[in-house]
Amino acid sequence: MDLDGPLDIHPPGDTGMFRLWQSSIGFRLNLLFVLIVTLLLTVSGMVSYFNTRHVLEEQYQEIQQRLRERLKISLPPPIWDLDTRKIEQNIEAEIKSPVRGIEVYGEENTLMAKRGAGSKDASLDKLEFHLSYQRGNENAEIGRAVAYLSRDEMNSALRVQVLYKFVEIVLLDLVLLAALSISLSRNVLSPLRQLKEALNTAAEATDSSGEIQLPEVRKDELGEVARGFNRISQRLADDLERRSVAEDQIRKAYDELKSTQDNLVQAEKLAALGSLVAGVAHEINTPVGVTVTSATLLAQETRKFKQAVDGGAVKKSDVLSYAETASESSELILANAERAAHLIQSFKLVAVDQTSEARRYFDVGGYIDEIITSLRPKFKRTSVAIKNECRADIRVDSYPGAFAQVVTNFAMNALMHAFEEGQAGLLTIRAKKEDERVVIEFEDNGRGISPEHLPRIFEPFFTTRRGTGGSGLGLNIVYNIITKKLGGQIQVKSVVGKGTLFILTLPLAAPTPGEPNHGGE
């Protein structure tokens, strides 16, 4: 009879009636109809009750009036004649419902006759009036009469009516409840239950390749609901099919884009390394050239000095000249060889780290010095200086190759985007230790980043220098390395015309592969 369904939430203290009210349409409809009919019948009964009470009250007042009129006619003559027997006969004739008793008093308030209940019964209504007798042309007051009437009959009739109306309401409610239950169950609830079961079956179906159809055998509103659902189901099935095709196309395009991005990232890394090789080679060319020139000069002077010694014509001035030349040449060879060796060592350290995934302990400030040394050829041809203000003795257990790539990308990004060609500027790198993390700042005093570009600078392929050397991958590579490889966070602050500040927060120990990263995206 009820269309039951599961409830999701039961507040504390719910009763079975409350849950039934929530879960059953039939229960709510039946209860609503019963309440409406009960209310209407109750109102009708109350109106009928008050009307009946009014009618009975009028009849009661009319009985009092007629009793008064009869007694005023029948009692004065026997009172005047002092005929007690006649008085008693007259009042005896009036003792019938609702009259319960009558008392007759003569002059000087003397009791002449009494029948039935009297003034001691407080539940009776008292009706008192004076009696007069006509003597000649005047009416003389000769006594009074007191009648006692009961409302029991009227109240009993009202109680019977209330009981009758109550029984009528209960019977009508039961009949209505039975009729509604049968009608709702057959015409509404049973079809709704079938519709619910069909929907549940459709929702639990694992095959989503085709649309879900409900039976359309009914011709009423429920049949219209089923037909509407079938149209929606067909539409959703078509949409799902189109979406599936679109998702496949997007997935293929994403895979291709990801592959292209990986290739571009690798190309970016190799291009940076190639640029580093070219710069270091160019930088090494000067000390190596000076070394070769000095060594050649020293060799020539040595041969001349040897010939002079062999010929026995060595003068003191020749010895002093040769000694001065040898000393200057040796100092030049030593200084430039050390410079070339330092450049090669820095390049070797950074290049090997960038081409490997090795993890080791390294000093942040010292390693940044090595990176700056390898980048100096790039900065040497510009008016931009790079300054390392990192605090000493900050050691981390991390990936130096990834770290070098981050520093390199920040430096090259500043050269390309922060300053105009030929503009003097400064890139300052700072590092400090905070608890178990190291905070590294890259700050330049260049042109800054406009507010509309600031939220997008870490997006792949986003660049403001498209067509002039910018790939849009530099800061995206930095972001991925910091948040994924090094397990850190990155923030950026910028004011147009005043410069840009990148803040890196890295753990002293980088996460191992597969370890949850709490500092990233």
499 — pLDDT class (breaks 50, 70, 90)? very high
264 — pLDDT class (breaks 50, 70, 90)? low
Number of other residues whose CB lies within 10 A of the CB of residue 340: 20
306 — pLDDT class (breaks 50, 70, 90)? confident
Q: Does the pLDDT at position 432 exceed 90?
A: yes
Q: Does the pLDDT at position 5 exceed 60?
A: no
- pLDDT of res. 7: 39
Tell me the pLDDT of the chain averaged across its residues: 78
Strand partners, 134: 139
Amino acid type, 153: E
- Contact by Cβ (8 Å): 132, 139: yes
For the four alpha carbons of 58, 63, 64 and 69, in that order, the dihedral sign comes to positive
Task: Give per-residue pLDDT as tens, 158-170.
Answer: 888 889 888 888 8
Q: Among residues 431, 438, 344, which one has the least CA distance to residue 388? A: 431
4-8, 68-72, 268-272: least confidently modelled range: 4-8
491 — pLDDT class (breaks 50, 70, 90)? very high
173 CB-near residues (< 8 Å, 6+ apart):
34, 37, 38
Q: Does the pLDDT at position 349 exceed 70?
A: no
Structure token pair of residue 42:
């109750």
Q: Does the pLDDT at position 496 exceed 60?
A: yes
317 CB-near residues (< 8 Å, 6+ apart):
none
Question: Rounded distance, CA 126 to CA 98, Å?
Answer: 12
Q: Does the pLDDT at position 224 exceed 70?
A: yes
Q: Compare 322 and 10 and report the one with higher pLDDT.
A: 322
Task: Give per-residue pLDDT as tens, 15-31.
Answer: 555 565 555 666 677 77
Task: Give per-residue pLDDT as tens, 124-148.
Answer: 888 999 988 887 777 888 899 999 9
Q: Compare 487 and 290 and report the one with higher pLDDT.
A: 487
Report, as an integer, the average pLDDT of 286-309. 77
Domain extents in the chain: 267-507
Number of other residues whose CB lies within 10 A of the CB of residue 402: 21
Q: Does the pLDDT at position 459 exceed 80?
A: yes
Q: Does the pLDDT at position 520 exceed 60?
A: no
- The superfamily in CATH containing domain 267-507 is Histidine kinase-like ATPase, C-terminal domain (3.30.565.10)
50 CB-near residues (< 8 Å, 6+ apart):
none
Report, as an integer, the average pLDDT of 441-464. 87
505 — pLDDT class (breaks 50, 70, 90)? very high
Report, as an integer, the average pLDDT of 103-127. 84
Question: Rounded distance, CA 228 to CA 241, Å?
Answer: 20
Report, as an integer, the average pLDDT of 387-413. 89
Report, as an integer, the average pLDDT of 451-472. 72
130-134, 353-357, 441-445: least confidently modelled range: 353-357
- 3-class secondary structure, 426: strand
- Contact by Cβ (8 Å): 279, 378: yes
Q: Compare 109 and 213 and report the one with higher pLDDT.
A: 109
Residue 309 φ/ψ region, left for φ over 0, alpha for ψ in the -120 to 50 degree band, beta for the rest: alpha
10 — pLDDT class (breaks 50, 70, 90)? very low
